[in-house]
Amino acid sequence: MKRLLSILSLVCVAIMFVGVSSVKAATPSDRAVKVIVMPDHLDWNYKCGEKPVFKVLVLKHHSPMQNVEIRYELSEDNMPAHKVETMVLKNGEGVIKLGTMKVPGFLRCKVYVEDGVNTHRGLATAGFDVEKIEPTAVMPADFDAFWQGALAESAKIPLEPVLTLMPEQCTHHYNVYNVKFRNGAKDYIYGVMTVPNKPGKFPAVLKVPGANVRTYTVAKDMVALGDVVTLKVGIHGIPIDMEGDVYSNLKHGALKNYNRINIQDRDKYYYKRVYIGCARAVDVLAGLEFVDADRIAVCGGSQGGALSFTTAYLNPKVKCLYAFYPALADLGAYLHGRSAGWPHLFRTNSDDNLRNENVLNTIKYYDIVNFARKTRVPVKVALGYNDTTCCPTSMFSVYNSVPTSKEIYVLNEIGHYIYEEMFQDRNKWLLEHIK
């Protein structure tokens, strides 16, 4: 009976990982073979010096696989594995002793199973004194002066917003507009806006984008906010509703690795116009007759989580921010023997050309840790311990640096994706702060 209860509890965890009804399409899909890994603390948290024991269960068609060989790797967050071993699970279940950490951080266990056709993976990550994780990022003395200078230069360029009604996308509840505004002498930001289909002045939420080059449409998860104006913007200075292979060609061509373009120069780095453009989007919202300029929030995930912090710092009209798994965090951490966030500068030898003083100087002004240190508004961050894109070490470096009112929503098992209930939590929190 004890073994049966253990298996049932692990199966429940498996359902959390793959349940289709409660998650977005970006979450892992269901498969016949499931590899479930779970720490022995329910909250996955430990004190430095404690030694977690990871339970492992391998299922096929919901039944434990017999005499199955697994390969497991142990690592400190996204760093190279320091232990790789195999073992045979007689009844499809076993335990792995992880060791411990003497300093705050994360230990990750990845388990692999081969079935002759595919490789199946499960993972879990134990956190050690996570509230004590400190960033490696250094705050430059002229951080404020640099960004205030950039804002002053930007202010010389009129916004000149243009809203174009898209009748075919409008509903009984809201109207839809394509939006563009100036972000430089010959540079525009493009976006899509929803406006409640009734008279009045409404709170507004700016949704800043995750990484990639793509088209943008109405964010259905944002429309669920109700009587709120929403604006979702792109960052690359190109229209968001083009057809064909335009975005794919840009992604693999001119905008490939855009996060490294001009990184040798803090004044020309790609993200300078991006950070400024997102801040200007708030001014666009604040200037609309149907927006209450005293009730504007910003949100986003991954790169958008990072841009939420930069926008809240650069534009004091922002009243609060909600960030899913913020990227661009603790950018130089790999040089200190620790995991950094996306885009993982300095992680591999292919980035050897980045290891110079010019780049190290530039990233100080763009690291989200430094924007978090300057935050003036309420903050909520949602993240998962199993995120290997924006690793938890880097995200806690951000969260722990926030000096204002803050909350954190941890779903330990998730990676770089979002459950439906996370959108619901975001919307509830945003409405509480802007209504």
Q: Coil, helix or strand for 224?
A: coil
Query: Considering 387, 397, 401, 433, which one is annotated as catalytic?
Result: 387
Query: Considering 75, 154, 302, 339, which one is annotated as catalytic?
Result: 302
CB-count burial class (<10 Å; 0-12, 13-18, 19+) for 60: middle
CA neighbor of 308 nearest in space, from 275, 270, 345: 275
Q: Coil, helix or strand for 399?
A: helix
- Known active-site residue 61: no
Residues 421, 293, 400: CA angle, nearest 5 degrees: 50
- Known active-site residue 416: yes
Query: Considering 236, 344, 416, 433, which one is annotated as catalytic?
Result: 416
How far, in Å, CA of 368 to CA of 358, rounded? 18
Cβ partners under 8 Å of residue 37, min gap 6: 54, 55, 56, 96, 109, 110, 111, 122, 123, 124
How far, in Å, CA of 174 to CA of 123, rounded? 42
Q: Which two tokens stand for residue 73?
A: 């790797």
Phi, psi at 158, each rounded to 5°: -65, 150
How far, in Å, CA of 52 to CA of 288, rounded? 54
Q: Which two tokens stand for residue 313?
A: 């710092």
DSSP secondary structure string, 14-68? HHHHH-STTB-TTSPPP-SEEEEEEESSTT-EE-TT---EEEEEEEETTEEPSSE
Evaluate whether 36 touches 59 at the Cβ level (below 8 Å): yes
- The single-letter code of the amino acid at 418 is I
CA neighbor of 229 nearest in space, from 169, 292, 179, 299: 292
- Known active-site residue 302: yes
DSSP secondary structure string, 232-244? EE-SSSS-S---T
Catalytic residue IDs: 302, 387, 416
